[in-house]
Every structure is written in C-alpha cells, then in structure tokens.
Amino acid sequence: MGTRNRYFCNQCDYEVTVSGGNDIGMLAATSTIHCYDCEEILDVVTTEEPWLAMDDDWVPTDHHCSQSATHRVALWGYSGECPKCNNTMEIDEWNLIMWD
C-alpha cells in the first residue's frame, strides 16, 4: 500500500499531494517527478509490475511527464525544491493518504 502527503512551499504557497519518492501499490509502482516544463511535482506510474520495485536497489528508468514525454523531468524526493521558486518544500505530516 502506498502513501501520499501534502507538500508545500512557505515562500510561494505552491502545494501538491504526492508520494514524495518511489511508492508501491498492488497494481503499479509510482515515482514522484519534477517536470521543469510544466513547473509541477507529480506522481507517475513507473511500472505495472510492482514486485520489481520491491528491491531496495530498484531505480525507475522509465519516467516522464503525463503531459508530454518530451518534457524535461527529474526524480523528486522529499526536501526537494519547489518547482515554482526553488525554495525547499516542506511536508504536512498530518495529511497522510493511503492508496492502493
């Protein structure tokens, strides 16, 4: 079962609810990415074979923006930068969503 949290920026008020890294559900594994072209943080499906992502050394290699595969993206994790102002994002630990 995966989890999602609300991440927010104190400087520009940008906020998003994402996993904040690699996550695994029953039918898919997801990763959180920073799309530089959309200026957004978002979760994308990285494999529909989640058992592959259970290995601690697994690094997703097929990740792209859901708007366009040609957008410039990078994997994003908690304490990463805000896509709008480059300030460090913070986590709202009281806003936890479990997904599957």
Asked whether the predicted pLDDT for residue 98 surpasses 80, the reply is no
Closest to 32 (Cα-Cα) out of 65, 71, 55:
65
pLDDT at 51: 80
DSSP codes, 22-53? -EE-SS-EEEEEEETTTTEEEEEEEES-GGGG
Query: Could you give the number of structural domains in the chain?
Result: 1
How confident is the model over 25-29, as a mean pLDDT? 88
* Residue 34: domain span: 2-99
State mean pLDDT over 18-25: 90
Question: How far is 80 from 42, CA to CA, in rounded Å?
Answer: 13
Which pTM value belongs to this model?
A: 0.88
- Please state, rounded to an integer, the average pLDDT across all residues of the chain: 89
